[in-house]
Amino acid sequence: MSGFAAADLFVRTALVEMYAKVGRVDLARAAFDEAPQRDVFLCNVMLAAYVARSEVAEARKVFDGMPARDLVSWNTMIHGYAMRGEVGMAREIFDGTEDRDAFSWSSMISAYAKSRRSKEALDLWREMRAAGIMPDCITLVSVVSACSDLGALVTGAEVHNFVESSRIELDLKLGTALIDMYAKCGDIESSQKVFDRMPVKDVQTWSTMIIGLANHGLGHESLSLFSKMISEGMKPNGVTFVGVLIACTHVGLVTEGKKYFRSMNQVHGVEPTVEHYGCMVDLLGRSGHVEEARHLIRSMPFEPDAIIWRALLGACRIHKNVDIAEEAMVRLRVLDPLGDGHYVLLSNIYAQANSWEGVAEMRKTIRRDNIQRIPGRSSIEWEDKIHEFVCGDRLHPRSKEIYGMLEEMMDRLKQAGYKPMTSLVLQDIDEQSKERSLVEHSEKLAIAFGLITTPAGSTIRITKNLRTCEDCHSAMKFISLAYDRKLIVRDRNRFHHFSEGLCSCNDYW
């Protein structure tokens, strides 16, 4: 290459970079095309320009036509696909990269975490450690949130240990992520420890802790933390108040809840949003003020959404209000016609009221409108892995043992006084089949697996995708008694801590 051409290449590269920086990818491309020849550096600059504008297809064309590629080229492509949520493509590039550095691993892990492919995020994290690549604080936030999502307490605690024993400084966001992880994995004491030890906290740190306590049914602790936050001069935001209202809901503090709700903009200058009205409808409805909840929906300054009507419907189930339930259902059929949960709820409401025509009607509707029931899934962490169960599945390698344990469990529970709540089963089948169907609920499978695999007396932690059903809730109380175990169950809404035949939710959930 002549000195002149080399100088020209240098100038072209600078031009591409400069145009990219001011957002003129078209001019950058023109300069790129006019270059006398292309080296890796110039192509990488062009790649970065496209990726910055999320034009990954264009970037890919450049990438494919490059005379040679280096680590930066590969990493830029991984990031480009990850940015557009094309995790599979990102992974293809990642797999094609021989030399991976911390950039490659972190981009890929965060791509998985962001798209809630949490298992894959953790698998990759283990591979990254095995490859001896050092993560930094930001990578760990992705790993920790994958643990939160899965309820992977052991893995999450390992990451925490890793931070403590390395020289990585625990920053605000990683600290907050750890608080959330421990809370979502059922270990609220550890959340509190991390929280107490953080020298600097912001509104998100406080909110995360407040929400964590609230979801564990520790309403009073949650509210006193809120007071402490205020007295320390920290300004709450809308999310903080969601936590405060959840705290009131889970303990049934109606008057308090109304007071906090009013104080939001009167005292704290935070405008309530539809989420806060949702919390209030739940608080009022759940505590038996179903009419008042209905009235609040009418008077609120927002169009009620499906979640609001669903909360009202849930209240109708607890307090056996068929009329308001039917009204809520009319709205839900418009706002969320395919959502499966409300059909089940209304059907249970009819069953409670001995309205068997109603139950039959719901069954017909579900079939006619082809409503897809979302299957219940429960998981439990054991030996570095998340073991997931779907109701009735026999896919687990230790399925035989698990079903054996289930039989034993049921005998033992029945002796202790457990009665299967067969009226909860919607299918039109005989009594024995209904009982069978209850036994195979995913949380019971997960608990049976837990009883087999964990040492006597240890706590069993389960994560479930839906709200736990009443039959399982009752069964778990008996299990905690009959097997002398603590069970900590994360349901879609909150935590249940079962011990000695009782649940921390006081059967109010």
Q: How many CB atoms lie under 10 A from the CB of residue 231?
A: 8
Site size toward DNA, by CB under 7 A: 74
For the bound state, the minimum distance from the C-beta of residue 421 to DNA, rounded and expressed in Å, comes to 19
Nearer Cβ to DNA, position 274 or 482?
A: 274
Which residues are CB-contacts of 171 (< 8 A; sequence separation ≥ 6)?
137
Residue among 171, 166, 187 nearest 137 (CA): 171
Q: Which of 15, 31, 51, 270 binds DNA (CB under 7 A)?
A: 51
Residues 397-416 that bind DNA (CB under 7 A): none
One-character DSSP codes across 8-43: HHHHHHHHHHHHHHTT-HHHHHHHHHH-SS--HHHH
Size (the chain), residues = 509
3-state class of 388 per DSSP? Answer: strand
Nearer Cβ to DNA, position 348 or 480?
A: 348
Residues 143-172 that bind DNA (CB under 7 A): 145, 148, 171-172
The reply on whether position 420 binds DNA by CB under 7 A is: no
Nearer Cβ to DNA, position 59 or 445?
A: 59
- Residue 288, CB-side half-sphere exposure with 13 Å CA sphere: 5
For the bound state, the minimum distance from the C-beta of residue 88 to DNA, rounded and expressed in Å, comes to 17
The reply on whether position 237 binds DNA by CB under 7 A is: yes
Spacing of C-alpha 53 from chain mean position: 29
Number of H helices, E strands in the chain: 26, 6
Residues 248-267 that bind DNA (CB under 7 A): 249
Nearer Cβ to DNA, position 41 or 403?
A: 41
Nearer Cβ to DNA, position 47 or 462?
A: 47
Residue among 430, 387, 410 nearest 483 (CA): 410
Q: Which of 260, 277, 350, 478 binds DNA (CB under 7 A)?
A: 277
End-to-end, the C-alpha distance of the chain in Å comes to: 75
Nearer Cβ to DNA, position 207 or 437?
A: 207
Residues 13-42 that bind DNA (CB under 7 A): 17, 40-41
The reply on whether position 480 binds DNA by CB under 7 A is: no
Q: Which of 154, 234, 307, 322 binds DNA (CB under 7 A)?
A: 307
Nearer Cβ to DNA, position 20 or 487?
A: 20
Residues 351-390 that bind DNA (CB under 7 A): none
Helices 56-65, 40-52: inter-axial angle, 10-degree rounding? 170
Radius of gyration from C-alpha coordinates of the chain: 27
| Pair of tokens at residue 332 | 């839900």
Nearer Cβ to DNA, position 70 or 271?
A: 70
Distance CA 282, CA 362 (A): 24
Distance CA 314, CA 59 (A): 50
- Name the segment binding DNA (CB under 7 A); options: 106-114, 219-227, 439-447, 469-477: 106-114
The reply on whether position 474 binds DNA by CB under 7 A is: no
Residues 76-105 that bind DNA (CB under 7 A): 76, 79, 82-83, 101-103
**x/- string (CB under 7 A) for DNA, residues 180-219?**
x---------------------xxxx-xx--x--------
3-state class of 460 per DSSP? Answer: strand
The reply on whether position 274 binds DNA by CB under 7 A is: yes
**Cα angle vertex 256, ends 254, 262, to 5°?**
105
Distance CA 245, CA 261 (A): 8
Nearer Cβ to DNA, position 101 or 407?
A: 101
The reply on whether position 271 binds DNA by CB under 7 A is: no
For the bound state, the minimum distance from the C-beta of residue 425 to DNA, rounded and expressed in Å, comes to 21
